[in-house]
């Protein structure tokens, strides 16, 4: 790792991170259950400056807890470790808006109950009033907040925008830095969130509690007039979320809550304040929020949380957590929820989509198909490797241990894959079986392009403090912003995975095998043999080993293609029927008798529609299923693997929507 760090433009060594690795015996190549404690300090910051006039906005959430890392004070207990993100590393022109998170509400009985009660006692709050959750980090700290180190006392009960330190003082000064650079930076505050939505059901249900809350919000704007927006993050109306109370009346009550909040802000002379909500991006959940009615009573923007579509251990099978397109009809995706809202008559310019600065992981993953992604994983409720928590790895950790953007490959045995159906990237180690669903510069750029194409309002990130500039740069470039000042050339980072571009199919140069000192690894080779008709042979017989060892073979086949023996030196397959040129990616691993493996071999077979097939004057009632590019209408009949099927939903075929597997598209018939 450290040899790469020396010349890297994106990562650097952090002694506290390395010490934690040593203490924990953490090895990203093999770990699937232990946590990584990688700090944000391993990132080099590479924010380009762009011309943003006339373009959609880019904003993000900024967490007050990201400032902490006890290792800076030589505290290495796992509970003391943190990201240690320094606000001073953020470019004042990178974002158009920063949403501070999170503000709690007194009376919440969820997992943050004790912290809320403690903070409320210092801020003299009453039930249903909003409050800052971390008085030290929000008002008093200085490290990583870009504030001077001093010990002047701060009265928590009466603190103002002028005298605050902490992250609020840092944001105050940060906004002024942006202004001096000619950049308009809005500040918003987010109330609620996943861990503090327990009280919304009760709060929204009565006029008295709604009034207390709305007046409390007005107080916050008077206390900190630098804020010009507010973000309500109720997760979720008429849904339990994090084991919260809920009911069918939540949607109507939500509308009244936003209406009365708008009225109180207007009465206080803050008609300039914009109200947004963080909303579920799953159609069945967002339907309860009554978005159209919310817009009618004063809502300005909808921040769709287009991430966390997948997670461990609750997801039934492998999936993407922040994909742009659905990998099966009606599946969760950015496009699915956008189409739903547009069909409901929601103005597109009020809709904002999100990208993720973190992954969702799965262990013991077995991938059946790379594109569209299909596979299973270990759903037991045991820890999965992540950064500081189970099953989620932040961008700094991804760059440092799993993804080498500069070499366009994975690290430590991981490969980069692209699901072209879902327009999503992911990382996977065939050795450790750990899977990471991620956003990359390529996928974020694609989301930026989508914003422009569909006339959306903005793109945003969870979270700003997880990025080093690569992802926000990609968002700007996706929306067509021209570079004003370049720190990093982004073009090399917009690559697709090895299953799409076989030339990228190479192992991480960091990987070594201890047996290489005494044993030579074999050399793999794939040869293509085409027999009569559509029968194809892939041969590994030209593979060799300097020691003369007996070799073993393991082929990985794309979805829709089968072979009698995937461990033979020569496999025979039948090229599937297609209506347009289609690529199928094959993978070969060759090992010798001592277990030493050759560099993986990849071969892309392009199958094209035959031009020499004579039309059948009497077509069969059940023609063979066409694996890719064929338009099927409801009622169309096919035969696949000897079984007859009838189409129940119109679609264009691809190698992942196989009859008998894609049950929403095909029904077996007789």
List active site positions. Answer: 235
- 125, 143, 222, 224 from 160: Cα distances, Å: 16, 20, 9, 7
Residues in Cβ contact with 318 at an 8 Å cutoff, skipping those fewer than 6 apart: 310, 362, 365, 367, 373, 374, 375, 376, 377, 435
Going by DSSP bridges, is the β-strand pair 351-356/458-462 parallel, antiparallel, or unpaired?
parallel
Spell out the alpha helix ranges (H) of 561-618: none
- Both tokens of 643, joined, read 């079984």
- 285, 339, 578, 652, 656 from 631: Cα distances, Å: 31, 21, 11, 4, 15
Sequence-ordered strand ranges (E) for 575-636: 582-591, 601-607, 631-632
Q: Enumerate long-range contacts of 251-254, CB under 8 Å, 24 or more apart.
A: 251/288, 251/289, 251/290, 251/293, 252/290, 253/204, 253/205, 254/204, 254/289, 254/290, 254/294
- Both tokens of 512, joined, read 């070594």
8 A C-beta contact, residue 534 and residue 540: no
Integer Cα distance of 107 and 196 in angstroms: 10
Spell out the alpha helix ranges (H) of 138-206: 166-180, 200-203
- 315, 440, 450, 628, 666 from 430: Cα distances, Å: 21, 20, 32, 27, 32
In the block, tokens 């008002």 appear at 139
Question: To which H or E segment does residue 533 belong?
Answer: none
Using the CB atoms, write b or e for 249-274: b if 16+ within 10 Å.
ebbebbbbbbbbbbebbeebebeebb
End-to-end CA distance of the chain: 59
Integer Cα distance of 591 and 377 in angstroms: 25
Residue of 238, 266, 241 whose CA lies nearest to 253: 238
Can you state the angle between helices 334-343 and 441-453, rounded to 10 degrees?
10
Classify the C-alpha dihedral 242-245-251-254 as positive or negative: negative
Classify the C-alpha dihedral 189-195-199-201 as positive or negative: positive
Residues β-bridged to residue 584: 605
Residue of 206, 67, 190, 172 whose CA lies nearest to 130: 190
Phi and psi, residue 366, nearest 5°: -120, 115
């Amino acid at each position: 790792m450290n040899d790469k760090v020396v010349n890297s433009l994106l990562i650097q060594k952090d002694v506290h991170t390395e010490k934690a690795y040593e203490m924990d015996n953490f090895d990203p190549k093999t770990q699937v259950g232990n946590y990584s404690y990688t700090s944000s300090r391993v990132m080099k910051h590479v924010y380009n400056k762009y011309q943003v006039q006339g373009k959609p906005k880019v904003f993000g959430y900024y967490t007050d807890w990201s400032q902490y890392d006890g290792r800076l004070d030589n505290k290495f207990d796992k509970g003391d470790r943190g990201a240690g993100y320094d606000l001073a590393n953020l470019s004042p022109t990178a974002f158009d808006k920063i949403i501070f998170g999170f503000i709690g509400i007194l009376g919440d009985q969820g997992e943050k109950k004790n912290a809320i009660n403690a903070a409320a006692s210092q801020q003299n709050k009453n039930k249903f009033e909003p409050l800052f959750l971390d008085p030290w980090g929000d008002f008093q700290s200085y490290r990583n907040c870009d504030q001077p180190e001093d010990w002047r006392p701060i009265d928590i009960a009466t603190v103002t925008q002028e005298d605050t330190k902490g992250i609020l003082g840092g944001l105050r000064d940060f906004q002024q830095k942006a202004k001096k650079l000619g950049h308009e930076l809005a500040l918003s505050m987010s109330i609620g969130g996943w861990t503090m939505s327990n009280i919304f059901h009760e709060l929204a249900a009565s006029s008295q509690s709604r009034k207390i809350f709305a007046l409390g919000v007005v107080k916050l704007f008077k206390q900190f007039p630098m804020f010009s927006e507010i973000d309500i993050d109720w997760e979720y109306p008429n849904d339990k979320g994090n084991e919260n109370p809920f009911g069918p009346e939540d949607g109507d009550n939500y509308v009244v809550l936003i209406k009365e909040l708008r009225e109180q802000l207007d009465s206080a002379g803050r008609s300039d304040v914009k109200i947004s909500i963080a909303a579920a991006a799953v159609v069945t959940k967002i339907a309860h929020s009554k978005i159209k009615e919310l817009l009618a009573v004063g809502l300005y923007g909808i921040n769709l949380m287009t991430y966390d579509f997948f997670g461990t251990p609750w997801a039934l099978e492998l999936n993407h957590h922040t994909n742009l397109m659905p990998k099966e009809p009606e599946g969760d995706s950015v496009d699915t929820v956008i189409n739903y809202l547009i069909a409901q008559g929601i103005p597109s310019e009020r809709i904002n989509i999100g990208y993720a600065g973190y992954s969702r992981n799965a262990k013991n993953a077995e991938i059946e198909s790379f594109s569209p992604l299909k596979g299973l994983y270990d759903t037991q409720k045991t820890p999965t490797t992540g950064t500081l928590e189970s099953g989620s790895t932040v961008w700094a950790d991804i760059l440092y241990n799993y993804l080498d953007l500069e070499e366009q490959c994975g690290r430590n045995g991981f490969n980069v894959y692209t699901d072209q159906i879902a327009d999503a990237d992911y990382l996977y180690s065939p050795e450790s079986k750990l899977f990471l669903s991620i956003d990359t510069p390529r996928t974020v750029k694609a989301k930026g392009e989508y914003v422009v194409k569909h006339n959306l309002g903005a793109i945003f990130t969870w979270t700003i403090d997880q990025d080093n500039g690569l992802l926000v740069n990609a968002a700007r470039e996706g929306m067509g912003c021209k570079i004003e000042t370049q720190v990093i050339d982004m073009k090399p980072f917009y690559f697709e995975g090895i299953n799409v571009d076989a030339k990228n199919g190479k192992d991480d140069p960091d990987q070594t095998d201890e047996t290489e000192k005494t044993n030579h690894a074999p050399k793999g080779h794939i040869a293509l043999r085409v027999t009569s008709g559509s029968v194809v042979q892939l041969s590994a017989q030209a593979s060799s080993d300097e020691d003369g060892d007996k070799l073993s073979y393991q082929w990985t086949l794309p979805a829709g293609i089968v072979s009698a023996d995937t461990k033979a030196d020569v496999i025979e397959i039948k090229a599937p029927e297609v209506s347009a040129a289609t690529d199928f990616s094959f993978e070969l691993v060759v090992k010798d008798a001592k277990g030493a493996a050759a560099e993986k071999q990849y071969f892309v077979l392009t199958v094209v529609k035959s031009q020499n097939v004579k039309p059948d004057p009497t077509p069969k009632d059940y023609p063979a299923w066409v694996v890719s590019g064929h338009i099927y209408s409801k009622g169309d009949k096919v035969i696949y693997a000897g079984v007859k099927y009838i189409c129940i939903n119109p679609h264009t075929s691809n190698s992942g929507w196989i009859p008998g597997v894609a049950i929403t598209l095909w029904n077996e018939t007789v």
